[in-house]
Amino acid sequence: MEVLTQRALCTPQRVRSVSLGSSSFSRRRAQFVTVRNAGLRLSRSSVQVKVPGLVRPIIRVPQRRNRSSGSIYAELATGSGTADESKEAELASALQKIVSSPDNIGFSTGIRTVTITVCGVHTENDLLRLKSQIEDLDGVGSAWIGPVKDGGLRGASVAVQIEVEKRVPLPALIQSIQALDEALLILPFKSNSWSWRGSNINYSVSGSGKPLILVHGFGGNVGHFARLIPFLAENHKVYAIDLLGFGASDKPGNTEYGPELWAELVCDFAKEFTLEGSVLFGNSIGSLCVLAAAAKAGSDLFRGVVLLNCAGAMNRKGLAQDGLALRLVAPIFIVVEYLLQRPKIANFLFNKFRSKENVKQILQQQAYCDKQAVTDQLVDILHHPSTDEGALDVFVKVFTGEPGPRPEVLVPQIDAPLLLLWGEKDPWTPPNGPISKYFRRVAAERDNVFVSILPDVGHCPHDDRPELAAEEILPFLEKYDL
C-alpha cells in the first residue's frame, strides 16, 4: 500500500473509526468510508490510498459532513468496477493503519485550540476582517468570533477561538495576531468572573496541563502577564488572577487591603480551581501574597513557588530594616502618607500618578530595561483599572495600611521548591539589596531554592524579557514535575 498526502480540501476534523458502506451513482459504483474520531485530525488534507485491483483508488474528503453524527465522508471512486469483499477487507485494513499511525503518512495530528481576547474591535466589518486575517496566518485553521462585550479595555472586547497547529509556538502566534493591527490589544487568554466573599474576582485562563496561578504586583492585573503566558501555556493550564482591589476585580471601600487578605483569596481560588495542587507565581508585592498563601496552605495545595523581583514589604512601614538608604528617605514617605489621608490632596496625587504619561514614564525610566516593551497596549492595561470607582481608596490603603509579614518570616514556613528571578537592573528591589541577599542565603542552605539574576532586566522580568524568564521557569517546572 502506498499512501500520499494531497492538497487541502476540507477543514480539520477528528478521526475516530473507519467503516465501509456503498451507494449507487449513475453509471458507476462508489464506496464510502465513514471516518470518526480516533484522536487524529485531517488537517485540510485529502488522502490517496492505492490498493491493488482497484481502478483510480482515490479517497478524497469532500467539503460536506453529517452534522448529526460528526462524521466526515471520504468517497472512494472505483470507476466501473466493484471491489469484492477481499478488496474491501484490504481497504479497511489500509484505512485502519491510517487511523492508528497518522504520523507515518504526514497527517497533522498536532492541532490545538487557543482562545484569545481582542480589545478594540467595534464593528462587524472589523470582526470579519480580523477573522479572515487570522485564518490566513501560517498554521492556523479556523477562527470563531464570540459576541462583542462592551466596556473594558479599548471600549469593547471579543473572545476569539483559534485552531492552530502545535508546531506554531504560542508566543509567535500572539505576536503575529498583534501585528495584524497595532490599534488592537491582544490578550492570550479568556477572562472569567468568580464570586468571592460577595465580590467579583476577575481571572484569566489559557492552555492545558498542570495548573499555574499568576499573581500581579501593585497596580497590575492579569494583562501584565500577557507576554509570559504564551510561554507557560504551551504545556500548562495557566490561571492569572486580579487581586481584590485591582484590575477588573471589585474594589469595595470597606476593606483593609494587604498581603494576608490576598493570600486568603489565592488559597480559596486554588481550592476552587486547582485542588490537585498548583504552582504559584508572584511579582513584587504579589510575591508577598504568594508567600503568605504558600505558608498558610502548605505544599499539598501549592507544589511550587516562583517569585519575580520579590518585594520586602507592601509599603514603607515594613521596610524600616532594609538599610540606611531607606531609613534616610523614610521621612519623605511619612509626609506622603500624611498627605494621602487628606481626600482632596490624595485625589490630586492619585490623578497625577495614574495618568498615562506618568505610567509610561515610570515604566521606561525605572521599571523596564527593554523600552520597546513599553507599548501603548501595556500602558492601557495598567492605566484602565485606575479609572474604576474605588481605585483611589485602594491606592491610599495600600500605601498607608499595615505592611504584612516579610519574606524572612514566611519562607521558613514553606517546604515547596522555590525559584526566585531577579532583574539585574531593578531600582526598587535591587539584586544586591537585603531581600535578594536573604534569598541567596536560603538558596545556599536548601537544595530546592534557586536564585537567578537576569541580565539587563528591570522590576518586571515577566514582561520586560519574558523569554529570559521562561528559560529559567520551564526547566524548574520540569525538574520538579510541576
Residue 159, domain CATH: 3.30.70.100
Q: What is the pLDDT of residues 1-32, one digit of tens each?
A: 333 333 333 333 333 333 333 333 333 333 33
Residue whose entry in the numeric block shows the C-alpha cell 477528528: 14
Which carries the bigger pLDDT value, residue 97 or residue 217?
A: 217
Report the chain's mean pLDDT, rounded to a whole number.
78
Q: Are residues 201 and 171 in the same domain?
A: no
190 contacts 157 by C-beta, under 8 angstroms: no
pLDDT of residue 317: 53
Q: Are residues 126 and 199 in the same domain?
A: no
Residue 270, domain CATH: 3.40.50.1820
Nearby residues of 373 by Cβ (< 8 Å), 6 or more positions away: 227, 463, 464, 465
Alpha-carbon distance of 259 to 274, in angstroms, equals: 21
Q: Are residues 173 and 207 in the same domain?
A: no
DSSP-based helix, strand, coil % in the chain, nearest 5: 40, 25, 35
pLDDT of residue 89: 56
Q: Are residues 309 and 446 in the same domain?
A: yes
Residue finishing a domain among 105, 130, 158: 105
Residue finishing a domain among 168, 187, 206: 187
Any idea which of 67-71, 158-162, 252-256 has the lowest mean pLDDT?
67-71
Q: Are residues 347 and 443 in the same domain?
A: yes
Q: Where are the alpha helices (DSSP H) in 27-157?
A: 85-100, 124-135
What percent of the chain lies above the pLDDT cut of 90?
A: 51
Instruction: Tell me the pTM.
Output: 0.75
Q: Are residues 32 and 129 in the same domain?
A: no
Q: Are residues 100 and 137 in the same domain?
A: no
Q: Which of 192, 154, 209, 79 is nearest to 387 (CA)?
A: 154
Alpha-carbon distance of 414 to 447, in angstroms, equals: 13
Nearby residues of 112 by Cβ (< 8 Å), 6 or more positions away: 163, 164, 165, 166
Task: Choose from 257-261, 347-351, 466-470 the range with maximum mean pLDDT.
Answer: 466-470
Q: Are residues 213 and 72 in the same domain?
A: no
Residue finishing a domain among 76, 105, 134: 105
Q: Are residues 69 and 162 in the same domain?
A: no
Q: Are residues 331 and 236 in the same domain?
A: yes
Q: Are residues 360 and 221 in the same domain?
A: yes
Task: Tally the domains of the chain.
Answer: 3
**Which range of residues forms the domain containing residue 97?**
2-105
Q: Are residues 418 and 304 in the same domain?
A: yes
pLDDT, mean of residues 230-240: 96
